[in-house]
Amino acid sequence: AQTVTQSQPEMSVQEAETVTLSCTYDTSENNYYLFWYKQPPSRQMILVIRQEAYKQQNATENRFSVNFQKAAKSFSLKISDSQLGDTAMYFCAFMKGYGGATNKLIFGTGTLLAVQP
Amino acid sequence: EAGVAQSPRYKIIEKRQSVAFWCNPISGHATLYWYQQILGQGPKLLIQFQNNGVVDDSQLPKDRFSAERLKGVDSTLKIQPAKLEDSAVYLCATFGGMVNTGELFFGEGSRLTVL
């Protein structure tokens, strides 16, 4: 069975600074996807960034980037130039990559990020 | 396009009472998930539908939880009788493609408090 672990329950960062959220996972699969989802207070969860395990290049989306270490089964999220709107719960998630619409996301326990003005 | 709609947003009930949550997916989205998010934990999958068929309900407590997706569109999740440990946010998420890329679209959730 796959597991996703987020060891930082809460983090705080000053506006405009950079912060890194950690995630580790365990799987025997070779083909899979990893995600970071953001859940703002009282709002719906949205996808921040996605990484295919077969790609060596780390994914980036504007101010968000990941450090994917497949051998170490580590998948951290770096947020650059933090903004007040980045305040949210961040979930790391895993999904098997065998395709089809029957896949499901397995989530970690989340990291609550507070961006301070 | 309209997002995933869920109702009610908040519900408070006594233990042993029943409750139902409703989800209206994005138009055309065939895959629908119900997740349970207990405070301090990540979302846990309860049930997954593909159109009106159940794909995975292995973690659904079937003695008290039930879900249906008649006509492959709207879905309801019911709890009867509720227990204190059912207090959580119930998230509905949908996906509309043939190959799941993992980009699910979530509703705002229904927060249940069982007293």
- What is the CATH classification number for the domain harbouring A20? 2.60.40.10
Tokens for B15, please give them: 């233990």
**Do the Cβ atoms of A102 and B100 come within 8 Å?**
yes
Please report residues of B whose CB lies closer than 8 A to that of A91: 42-43
Whether residue A7 has pLDDT greater than 80: yes
CATH class of the structural domain B5-114: mainly beta
Q: How far apart are CA B61 and CA B10, in angstroms?
A: 21
Report which residue type is found at B14: E
Q: Which of A42, A47, A102 sits opposite B103 (nearest CB)?
A: A47
Tokens for A103, please give them: 């896949």
Domain coverage including residue A60: 3-98+105-116
Q: Which of B30, B31, B42 sits opposite A91 (nearest CB)?
A: B42
**Do the Cβ atoms of A100 and B99 come within 8 Å?**
yes
Q: How far apart are CA B28 and CA B26, in angstroms?
A: 6
Question: b vs e for A51-71, b when ≥16 Cβ sit within 10 Å of the residue's Cβ?
Answer: bbbeeeeebeeeebbbebeee
Tokens for B45, please give them: 């999958």
Q: Which of A103, A106, A111 to mutate to test the interface with B (most CBs of B within 10 A)?
A: A103
Q: How far is A111 from chain B, CA to nearest CA, in Å?
A: 9
Task: Name the domain count of chain A.
Answer: 1
Question: What pLDDT score does A102 carry?
Answer: 65
Decide: helix, strand or coil at residue A85. helix
**Do the Cβ atoms of B108 and A43 come within 8 Å?**
yes
Question: What pLDDT score does A1 carry?
Answer: 79
What pLDDT, in 10s, does the model give residues B36-79? 999 888 999 999 999 889 999 999 999 999 999 988 899 999 99
| Beta-carbon count within 10 A of B78 CB | 14
Band (pLDDT 50/70/90 cuts) for residue B98 is low
What pLDDT, in 10s, does the model give residues A71-89? 999 999 999 999 999 999 9
Whether residue A14 has pLDDT greater than 70: yes
The mean pLDDT of B78-101, rounded to a whole number, is: 90
Q: A83, exposed or middle or buried, with CB in 10 Å at 0-12, 13-18, 19+? A: exposed
Q: Which of B3, B48, B103 sits opposite A104 (nearest CB)?
A: B48
